[in-house]
C-alpha cells in the first residue's frame, strides 16, 4: 500500500502495529531519518531500547546475512510491548529477505521498519511494498513541514498553545532551514520556554533561530538601506579584515535590494511580499525590511538595483579596478541616495 499526500504524516504519527512492515524512503536523508525516528517511537513507546524491543540491523549486515531479518522478526522478547526491527540504509538487494519475512509474518511478530534513500519506480523494494496488501510504503518528499507537523513537534517540546503570529514565523523558518536544524530549533524553543507561561513571540523565535554566518554582512547592508552612512566605515573595515570577498558583499546587497523591490511591489503589502520570498523573511527582520522597502519606494529601489547590477557586471569583467573599492563605492552611493516613497 502506497501512502499519498496528508496520509503520510498522519500514518507516521500513528503507525498501525497490525501491519507487518513500513518502508520509508526519500531523497533527503535527514527527512527520512526524522520520519523513521517518529514512526519507531510511535510504535514502541518509551524504553524500547532498554527493554530490547527495538532491534537495529544495518542494511549492509542484512545483505551478508539475509536470514537475520526473519530471526529478529520471530524472536521472543523478555518484556511485553510492541517490538520493531529497524533496517537503515535499505536497498533493493534486500528485497528477497524482506519478501520472505513478509510472507511468514504473523500477529505478534516484530514490525519491520525500513529506511531507504531515493528509490526509482523500478525499485524492487518499492514494487514489493506498493503492491503488498498490508505492508505500507511512505515516500518522503523534500517539502517543508506543514503547520500540523510543526504543531506536533511543538507539543513534543512542551508548547501546546502558540499564537498565530509566532506560528506564521515558525512556518517561514521551517522553509528556510533544513529539517534537522529546524527540529533542533523547536527543541531549543521548548527548553527556553519551559516553565514560562507567557506566549511565544516572534522576537523570541528570531533570537533562538540559528545565526547566519553572514550576520555582519547583513548588518552592513542594513546600514546602507537605512542611509546610516556615518556608521558604514567602521563595520566595512571589520568585514574586510575578516576576509569577506567583494563578490560576497555584492551578492548580499543585490539579494537584499531585490527583496526590498519585491516587497515594495507586492499587492498584499511589504510584509506579505517578504513572507513569500525564498527563503522567506520572518520575525523582526521582516518588520525592518518592510520599513526599508516603504522608505525607498519603487522608483529609488529600481535605481539601486541598476547600480548594483552595474557593479556586479564590472566585478565579472576584465576591469583592473580594485574589486573591493568598486563594491565599497557602490554601497556608499546607495547609503547616500535620497529615499522617497515615489511610485
CATH code for position 259: 1.20.272.10
Residue matched to cell numbers 518502508? 23
| 94 and 36 co-located in one domain | yes
Q: What is the pTM of this model?
A: 0.58
pLDDT surpassing 90 at residue 206: no
| 98 and 123 co-located in one domain | yes
Residue-wise pLDDT for 244-284, tens only, equals 889 889 998 999 999 899 888 888 777 777 877 766 677 77
Mean of pLDDT over the chain: 88
Three-class SS of residue 2? Answer: strand
Which CATH number does the domain housing residue 35 bear?
3.40.50.300
pLDDT surpassing 80 at residue 210: no
| 23 and 129 co-located in one domain | yes
| 136 and 14 co-located in one domain | yes
Query: Who wins on pLDDT, 99 or 49?
Result: 99
| 230 and 314 co-located in one domain | yes
- Residue 40: closest CA among 105, 107, 115, 150: 115
**β-strand pairing of 21-26 with 136-140:** parallel
pLDDT over 90 percentage in the chain? 46
pLDDT surpassing 70 at residue 213: no
List the beta bridge partners of residue 116.
25, 90
| 20 and 131 co-located in one domain | yes
Domain that residue 178 falls in: 147-208
Gap between the Cα atoms of 206 and 228, Å rounded: 23
Residue-wise pLDDT for 81-107, tens only, equals 899 999 999 999 999 999 999 999 999
pLDDT surpassing 90 at residue 209: no
pLDDT surpassing 90 at residue 243: no
| 65 and 81 co-located in one domain | yes
pLDDT surpassing 50 at residue 342: no
Does residue 1 form part of some domain?
no
| 97 and 129 co-located in one domain | yes
Which runs of consecutive H residues, i.e. helices, occur in the chain?
Answer: 6-13, 29-44, 59-64, 67-74, 95-103, 124-131, 147-156, 164-176, 179-193, 202-208, 215-225, 232-241, 246-265, 270-275, 283-316, 323-336
Question: Residues 282-306: what's their mean pLDDT?
Answer: 88
Three-class SS of residue 123? Answer: coil
| 121 and 244 co-located in one domain | no
Does residue 342 form part of some domain?
no
Contact between residue 173 and residue 281 where contact means Cβ atoms under 8 Å apart:
no
Does residue 343 form part of some domain?
no
Amino acid at each position: 500500500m502506497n501512502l499519498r499526500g496528508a496520509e503520510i504524516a498522519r500514518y507516521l504519527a500513528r503507525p498501525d502495529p497490525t501491519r507487518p512492515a513500513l518502508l520509508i524512503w526519500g531523497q533527503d536523508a535527514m527527512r527520512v531519518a526524522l520520519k523513521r525516528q517518529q514512526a519507531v517511537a510511535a510504535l514502541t513507546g518509551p524504553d524500547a531500547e532498554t527493554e530490547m524491543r527495538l532491534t537495529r540491523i544495518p542494511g549492509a549486515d542484512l545483505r551478508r546475512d539475509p536470514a537475520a531479518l526473519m530471526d529478529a522478526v520471530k524472536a521472543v522478547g523478555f518484556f511485553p510491548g510492541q517490538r520493531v526491527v529497524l533496517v537503515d540504509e535499505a536497498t533493493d538487494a534486500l528485497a528477497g529477505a524482506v519478501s520472505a519475512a513478509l510472507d511468514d509474518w504473523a500477529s505478534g511478530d516484530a514490525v519491520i521498519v525500513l529506511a531507504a534513500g531515493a528509490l526509482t519506480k523500478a525499485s524492487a523494494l518499492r514494487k514489493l511494498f506498493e503492491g503488498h496488501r498490508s505492508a505500507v510504503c511512505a515516500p518522503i518528499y523534500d517539502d517543508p513541514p506543514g503547520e500540523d507537523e510543526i504543531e506536533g513537534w511543538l507539543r513534543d517540546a512542551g508548547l501546546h498553545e502558540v499564537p498565530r503570529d509566532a506560528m506564521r514565523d515558525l512556518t517561514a523558518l521551517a522553509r528556510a532551514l533544513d529539517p534537522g536544524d529546524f527540529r533542533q530549533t523547536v527543541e531549543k524553543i521548548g527548553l527556553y520556554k519551559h516553565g514560562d507561561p507567557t506566549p511565544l513571540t516572534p522576537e523570541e523565535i528570531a533570537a533562538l533561530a540559528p545565526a547566519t554566518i553572514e550576520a555582519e554582512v547583513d548588518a552592513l547592508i542594513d546600514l546602507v538601506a537605512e542611509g546610516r552612512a556615518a556608521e558604514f566605515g567602521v563595520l566595512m573595515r571589520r568585514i574586510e579584515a575578516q576576509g569577506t570577498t567583494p563578490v560576497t558583499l555584492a551578492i548580499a546587497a543585490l539579494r537584499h535590494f531585490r527583496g526590498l523591490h519585491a516587497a515594495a511591489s507586492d499587492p498584499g503589502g511589504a510584509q506579505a511580499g517578504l513572507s513569500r520570498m525564498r527563503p522567506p523573511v520572518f520575525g523582526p527582520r521582516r518588520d525592518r525590511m518592510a520599513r526599508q522597502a516603504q522608505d525607498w519606494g519603487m522608483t529609488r529601489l529600481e535605481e539601486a538595483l541598476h547600480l548594483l547590477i552595474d557593479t556586479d557586471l564590472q566585478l565579472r569583467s576584465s576591469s583592473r579596478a580594485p574589486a573591493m573599492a568598486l563594491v565599497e563605492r557602490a554601497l556608499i552611493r546607495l547609503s547616500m541616495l535620497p529615499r522617497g516613497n515615489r511610485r
